[in-house]
Amino acid sequence: MTAAAAPTFSIVSGEQVQQALLGRESEIAELVEAVYRLHGAGESVNPPSYFLRFPDRPTSRIIALPASLGGPLRVDGIKWVSSFPQNVVSGLPRASAVLILNDPETGYPYACLESSVISATRTASSAALAADRLSVGRPRPSRVGFIGTGLIARYIHTHLVGTGWEFEETGVHDLSAESAAGFKGYLERTGAKGKVTVHEDPESLVRSSDLLVFATVARKPYLHDVSWFEHHPLVLHVSLRDLDPRILLASANYVDDVDHCLKAETSPHLAERLTGGREFLDGTLNDVLTGRVGVPDDRTVVFSPFGLGVLDLAVGRFVHDEVARRGGLHVVDGFFHELRRYG
C-alpha cells in the first residue's frame, strides 16, 4: 500500500495574522456568530481549559484550550496562551500565544499561527457581537466606559467601531495612569468620535457609562456597590472577576457557555457558590441569537464570556486560508520526516 502524503506544515507570523484580519471586523463578527450557533447545536467539542500555574509566579499562568469545530468550519486544534502580567513592566504585552490547527482527517497538525492577535480578535468580536444583540430592545448605548486599557480593550474598541458603533463619550479608567493616558492617546490618534475622558476612580466611570467594558487582569472582585449600576448599563464583563457576585444577582446574566464560565473563581462562579444554584443565569449568547430568551430593558445586563477554543480555531482557520489565498504561507519543508512504518 502506498502511504498517503503527509500534510504540509506552515508557520503564520503575527504580521501575516494582522494583515489577514485588518478591516475584517464585520466578517469576523459573522464568523463568530456562526461558531456560537454551531456550538449551541452540539457541533463542537470544547473541553475545559487546562491552567498551568506556577507556585513561584502566582500571578502568571499558561492555558491550554483544545477544541474541535464541526459543520462547514471543520477543524481541530489547540491554543496555548500565556498570561504574565509582569511583562508590562518591561514593555512586553502581558499575553502571548500560539495556535495549532490539525487536519480532521489525519490528525496531523498543518499550521502554527501566532495567536495573540487571533485571541484578541475573537475576544473582541465576541464582545462586540454581544453588545449588538444584548442591546436589542434597549436604548442603544452612546457612552462607553473601559476599565482596563490594554490590548484587549483596544481590540474591543476597534471591533465595536468596525461593526457600526458610535459613541458620544468614551470613558477610560486604569490603575496605571500611564496606561489610561496611553489608551486616551490611542483613541484620539485613531479619530475616535466624541469626548474622551480619563476617570481617576471607577465609580465615576461606571455611573457615567451605559456600555461598560471590563478588560483587566483582576484576580478577585473589587467592585462591590450595587448602587453604582442603578442606571442599568450593558456590561461586557470580559475579564470575568471584576464584579462582586451581588452585582450579578441584581442583574440579568448571559454567558458564552455555562459550564465553562462557572468555574475558576469567576464572578459567576462566586455567584453560584453564594446562591447554591444557577438560577441567576438568564441564558447564553446563543440563546439570545436563536431567540430562545429575551433581554430585559429594566435591569443591568451582564455578559460574562469565558472564551471558547472553538472561536480561536475558526478565526485561525480564516487567517490560514486567507494567507494561503494570498500565496504567503511559509511552508516548513520536511517537517514530518519519519513517515515509513517499518523504516
Which of these, 134, 157, 123, 129, lies nearest to 300 by C-alpha position?
A: 134
**Pure H helices in the chain:** 14-21, 25-40, 116-134, 151-162, 177-189, 202-207, 245-249, 258-261, 267-275, 285-289, 309-325
Whether residue 338 is predicted with pLDDT greater than 80 in this model: the reply is no
* Superfamily of domain 130-304, CATH level 4: NAD(P)-binding Rossmann-like Domain (3.40.50.720)
Residue 79 is predicted with a pLDDT of 98
Query: What single-letter DSSP state applies at residue 243?
Result: B
Computed from CA positions of residues 255, 95, 155, 309, in that sequence, does the dihedral angle turn out positive or negative?
negative
pLDDT higher than 50, residue 1: no
Residue with cell 434597549: 138
pLDDT in tens, 162-191: 999 999 999 999 999 999 999 999 999 988
Mean pLDDT, rounded, for 29-39: 97
> Domain 10-118+310-331 - what CATH class?
alpha beta
- Residue 242, pLDDT above cutoff 90: yes
CB neighbourhood size of 85 (10 A) = 15
User: Where do the CATH 3.40.50.720 domains begin and end in the chain?
Assistant: 130-304
What is the tens place of the pLDDT at every residue in 186-214? 999 988 889 999 999 999 999 999 999 99
What letter does residue 29 receive in the DSSP assignment? H
Q: How many Cβ atoms are within 10 Å of 67's Cβ, its own excluded?
A: 22
Q: Which helix (H) or strand (E) holds 196?
A: strand 195-198
pLDDT for the residue 4: 62
Residue 339 CA to residue 231 CA, distance in Å, equals 64
The pLDDT tens digits of the residues spanning 6-15 come to: 679 999 999 9
Angstrom distance (rounded) from CA 161 to CA 138: 19
Residue range(s) of every CATH 3.30.1780.10 domain in the chain: 10-118+310-331
Task: Please report which confidence band the pLDDT of residue 3 belongs to, taking 50, 70 and 90 as the band edges.
Answer: low
User: 247 by DSSP, 3-state: which?
Assistant: helix
**253/240 Cα distance (integer angstroms):** 12
How high does pLDDT run on average in the chain?
A: 95
When pLDDT is cut at 50, 70 and 90, the band that residue 2 belongs to is low
Work out the average pLDDT over 19-28: 97
Please state, in angstroms and rounded to a whole number, the distance separating the CA atoms of residues 272 and 267: 9
* Residue range 124-131: mean pLDDT, rounded: 98
What local confidence, expressed as pLDDT, does residue 118 receive? 97
* pLDDT tens figures, 260-317: 999 989 999 999 999 999 999 999 999 999 999 999 999 999 999 999 999 999 999 9
pLDDT, position 89: 85
Kindly report, residue by residue over 41-66, the tens digit of the pLDDT.
999 999 998 999 999 999 999 999 99
User: What mean pLDDT is predicted for residues 86-115?
Assistant: 93
Is residue 116 a contact partner of residue 93, using CB atoms and an 8 Å limit?
A: yes
**Is residue 111's pLDDT more than 60?**
yes
Instruction: Pick the closest to residue 199 from 216, 175, 222 (CA basis).
Output: 175
pLDDT at 343: 67
Share of the chain above pLDDT 70, in %: 98
Residue in the structure block whose three cell numbers are 471543520: 74
